[in-house]
Amino acid sequence: MASAVVLTSSGLDSLLTIKLMQQTKINIKVVHFDIGLTYDKPILAGQRISKYHGLEYLVKNSIEITKFDIAKEFYSEVFAKKGYSNVNACLEYQIFLLKKAREYMKDIKADFIVTGDVLNQRPNIQSRQSLLFSDIEAEVEGLVFRPLSATLLPETIAQTKFKLPAVYDFEGFDERREKLAQQLGIYEYPKEYRGENNEIDMGRKAFEIFEKGFKLNTAHLNRLGAHLNFEEKARLIIGRTPFESKYLQLFYKKMLPVNGTAFAVKEPRYYFGFLYGENISPIHAQKAPGIFTGMIEPLDQPKIVCFYDKDYSFFGSKKIEPIPFAEYSEYIHKELSNEFSCPLFTQFPHHD
């Protein structure tokens, strides 16, 4: 019997792809490659942020998953070798995953690879040209089947050889995918993230993780919060939304391995941030709460800030005056290239 490696990111398209492949006569091996950008189950234990988590859904439905932690290899190999400020994070990520899938395919003697890619959903990596380029770069040309957009893409060697059905013509964020999910009995899946990794910001943060010596188990924070770096091995992370703030709070409580101080503003909306590292100076410890307060609207008004120590023990609250953006822009990391001179906090809509 023919066999295939099915890549899953735990999202809706991955779940649809797995269900569709289960309807064929192909023996599938579901694989998840983790580069530290997912909301990991240990952090969510006991208090779930997302109502549903795709990997948990697969387990609940008796779908065996093989999970590989490739975070260190991805950040050190891809970012470091290519130059942190010159990496298209999305495209390099896709190529890297296909390379790892090819290795696993050879190890288990599978015949081809299946992905949940949808044509033009994310133009940077899912245009026809980008998909073909990724396949060529990963040396899997003709060996990747993308069932959700199969009728819109050139027929592959795998389709011809194993008589794989080309039925669907989904493109972009096609709402028909949700109807198909209901038809296939999929009612639980994570809310879609309709964006792409910012390659400049990802490169900068990868630099900080590996060149500045931060712990690898903080790598998945790359896609969460706004980041400032003080002296070496000291970082301030601030949630940009109540959702991010809640996740950062859970991370701080359960996994932070080094010295840290956390801050929370509970009214009118919940925001959380923390300063952590192995080399926190008194002056930066003093400034961090004011920077945190200055990120939260109304920007020019003091807020009541709750303080927590490294064990997440509450040790008081205090009215904190905000520090204006101009006074802490010096802490934005600029040494990699001129591209990094733009304020990181343009991620916040209220900063010009």
% the chain with pLDDT above 70 = 70
**What pLDDT, on a 0 to 100 scale, did the predictor assign at position 193?**
47
**What pLDDT, on a 0 to 100 scale, did the predictor assign at position 47?**
36
**What pLDDT, on a 0 to 100 scale, did the predictor assign at position 197?**
47
344 vs 89, 284, 309, 325, 335, CA distance in Å? 17, 18, 26, 11, 14
- Mean pLDDT across 110-135: 93
**What pLDDT, on a 0 to 100 scale, did the predictor assign at position 201?**
52
- Mean pLDDT across 29-50: 57
DSSP-assigned letter for residue 75: I
Domain ranges of the chain: 3-184, 224-337
Q: Please give the Cα distance from 143 to 300 (Å, whole number).
A: 57
**pLDDT of 290 above 70:** yes
Residue with tokens 């994570």: 190
**What pLDDT, on a 0 to 100 scale, did the predictor assign at position 205?**
56
- Mean pLDDT across 155-180: 92
Give the confidence band of 11 by pLDDT, cuts at 50, 70, 90. confident
**pLDDT of 43 above 80:** no
- Mean pLDDT across 314-328: 88
- Mean pLDDT across 170-179: 92
In degrees, rounded to 5, the angle at the alpha carbon of residue 238 between the alpha carbons of residues 232 and 243 is 145
**What pLDDT, on a 0 to 100 scale, did the predictor assign at position 351?**
35
Under 8 Å between Cβ of 210 and 225 = no
307: helix, coil or strand? Answer: strand
Q: Please give the Cα distance from 227 to 244 (Å, whole number).
A: 13
242-269: per-residue pLDDT in tens? 877 887 887 787 765 567 889 999 888 8
Give the confidence band of 232 by pLDDT, cuts at 50, 70, 90. low
CB burial of 200-216 (b: ≥16 within 10 Å; e: otherwise) equals bbbbbbbbbbbeeebee
Give the confidence band of 219 by pLDDT, cuts at 50, 70, 90. low
pTM, to two decimals: 0.62
The more confidently predicted of residues 295 and 338 is 295
Give the confidence band of 192 by pLDDT, cuts at 50, 70, 90. low
The rounded mean pLDDT for the chain is 77
DSSP-assigned letter for residue 77: I
Give the confidence band of 29 by pLDDT, cuts at 50, 70, 90. very high
Nearest-10 crossing angle of helices 199-211, 89-107: 70
Q: Please give the Cα distance from 175 to 191 (Å, whole number).
A: 13
CB count within 10 Å of CB 123 equals: 12
**What pLDDT, on a 0 to 100 scale, did the predictor assign at position 338?**
30
Strands 271-277 vs 65-69: parallel, antiparallel or unpaired = unpaired
Residues 159, 162, 163, 169: is their CA dihedral positive or negative?
negative
Q: Please give the Cα distance from 351 to 273 (Å, whole number).
A: 18
DSSP-assigned letter for residue 322: P
304: helix, coil or strand? Answer: strand
CA terminus-to-terminus distance, the chain: 59
**Superfamily of 3-184 according to CATH:** HUPs (3.40.50.620)
